[in-house]
Amino acid sequence: MKNLKIDLSKDRLWLVLVAMVLLNSACNSQPPAKTLHAESTPIPSASTPIPSSPTPLPPTTTPTATLLPGAAGYLLTIADLPAGFEWTNSFEAQSYAAPLENKALYNTIFYTDGGWLHVVLTVANEPFEKIPDGLSYGQGGTPVDTVLVGQSSQAYLESEDPLKSSFVFIKGNVLVELLGPISVDTALKLAQIMEARIPELVSDLTPITFPEALDSETYAKYFSSISLGLCSSDDQSFTPASVFSSQDWTSVCIQMLPMASQDLARFQKYSYADYVPQDQNYVAKYSSAHGFSGTIFTPQQPGQYEMRIAVDDVLVAVLPFEVH
């Protein structure tokens, strides 16, 4: 039995940078945890049948016309970017801490030969009066005068390289941070694209969605086991677990072991979502083109949850867990 064989090199920075966002942004969010990745030493794990949910899966719903398209709809897409970029991963979390200073956090990362472009969008409960200090993305390097975007904006050259810049702006209750291998002029154009999409006030969000139909055939064909548990600090050992303390956030990880005859690199997208059975809603979702080499987001609040895992938008595992 061997571990997941996927090229994870483009996702490595995600662990550190998303941790910074979740820890340093104004919201009271749950810090991210490590995950066991494909390059770790194979770890013995008992093969288990596909887990089933202790609660019925919620019905698939279509957002009503009264809902805004959701902050994820205000983010950049490949079509907005200069040639040479590719999508790497996305993360979104909604209503995941109390008391809430923010409604939601969104982060999308694109990759090019020059590095990673980070697009971070925070939706607050109240309009921003000014750009916060100490942001995880931007506000470093040399300030640059440029055209105003939104109510207030800031641009920076991150180094002597003119193709390493950042741009920050606020509009209503939305804060946008851009950082990556682009010029200030390009960052300005991308910020203007997003500013045009963002309404004056984001009052409602489209709920997080995720595949609903558990596909046991896909699981049985490609996986010997999918487990949630705790990883060692060096990611070389894995202990299956379904009960965690609020202090376990640095160690929670997902282990996906393929069938011996299968190459999981065939899949184009890996996703997981944190589901709250009692409330019948999702509080966080992560999707990646390169496997789960980033963070595993688990709520700190005590309660019953489910970690739902999908490959290419096919639900293959529902893993119940508790936080004490």
Same domain membership, residue 263 and residue 176: no
Domain of 187, in residue numbers: 71-197
**Of 64-68, 123-127, 182-186, 316-320, minimum mean pLDDT range:** 64-68
Q: Is the pLDDT of residue 236 over 60?
A: yes
- In this prediction, residues 109-120 reach a mean pLDDT of 92
Asked if 315 and 36 touch (Cβ cutoff 8 Å), the reply is no
Same domain membership, residue 146 and residue 178: yes
Domain with residue 187: its CATH number is 3.40.1000.70
Rounded to 10 degrees, the C-alpha dihedral 79/139/94/37 comes to 80
**Of 190-204, 238-252, 274-288, minimum mean pLDDT range:** 238-252
Q: Is the pLDDT of residue 301 over 50?
A: yes
Cα–Cα distances in angstroms (integers) from residue 318 to residues 43, 216, 264, 309, in the given order: 21, 11, 19, 7
pLDDT tens digit sequence for 51-77:
443 333 333 333 322 223 456 788 899
Give percent above pLDDT 90 in the chain: 45
- Residue 23 resides in a domain: no
pLDDT grade for 33, boundaries at 50, 70 and 90: very low
Neighbours of 54 (CB within 10 A): 10
Mean pLDDT of the chain: 77
pLDDT tens digit sequence for 181-193:
999 999 999 999 9
- Residue 1 resides in a domain: no
Asked if 266 and 6 touch (Cβ cutoff 8 Å), the reply is no
- Residue 5 resides in a domain: no
Write the burial class of residue 9 (CB in 10 Å: 0-12 exposed, 13-18 middle, 19+ buried).
Answer: exposed
Same domain membership, residue 116 and residue 82: yes
Same domain membership, residue 162 and residue 228: no
- Residue 2 resides in a domain: no
Question: Domain ends where: 197, 223, 246?
Answer: 197
Question: Domain ends where: 140, 173, 197?
Answer: 197
**Token reading at 147:** 């055209």
Question: Distance from CA of residue 213 to its chain's centroid?
Answer: 22
Q: Is the pLDDT of residue 207 over 70?
A: yes
Alpha helices in the chain (DSSP H): 12-24, 184-197, 216-222
DSSP 73-127: GGS--GGGSPTT-EEEEEEEEES-SSS-SEEEEEEEEEEETTEEEEEEEEEESS-
Q: Which pLDDT score is estimated for 263?
A: 80
Model pTM score: 0.76
Q: Which pLDDT score is estimated for 200?
A: 92
Neighbours of 313 (CB within 10 A): 11
Q: Which pLDDT score is estimated for 96?
A: 53
Asked if 103 and 68 touch (Cβ cutoff 8 Å), the reply is no
Q: In what order do the strands lie in the sheet with 102-112?
A: 142-144, 152-157, 165-171, 174-180, 115-124, 102-112, 86-94, 281-288, 270-276, 303-311, 314-323, 243-244
Same domain membership, residue 191 and residue 75: yes
Asked if 75 and 106 touch (Cβ cutoff 8 Å), the reply is yes
Q: Which pLDDT score is estimated for 220?
A: 93
pLDDT grade for 80, boundaries at 50, 70 and 90: very high
Cα–Cα distances in angstroms (integers) from residue 134 to residues 21, 39, 74, 138, 241, in the given order: 11, 34, 23, 9, 36
Number of domains in the chain: 2
Q: Which pLDDT score is estimated for 29?
A: 36
